[in-house]
Amino acid sequence: MAKFGRFEFGEDKPSETYEGDGMTLEKGCVKIMRGGLELIDFQTGQLVAVIYLDKGQSMREIGTD
């Protein structure tokens, strides 16, 4: 399982972390899913989190377990 982090501009450590199998970004909205790695079609997975990014924020994968 991957670990994802939300980062503030200029920070080295994430302000929040999430665990899931995949992540998509569309128009400032990040969806993190578990199971069902069909990232184009989320019908088979479980939605873990929906994060709306503010200016200066970013999401990225920071590791795996």
pLDDT in tens, 2-20: 999 999 999 999 999 999 9
**Confidence class of residue 43 from pLDDT cuts 50, 70 and 90?**
low
Query: Chain-wide mean pLDDT for the chain?
Result: 86
Structure tokens at 64: 């795996």
User: Taking CA 33 as the corner, what is the angle to CA 38 and CA 41, rounded to the nearest 5 degrees?
Assistant: 30
- pLDDT score of 14: 95
pTM for the full predicted model: 0.79
Structure tokens at 36: 């069902």
Q: Which residues pair with 41 in a beta bridge?
A: none
Structure tokens at 24: 């998509």
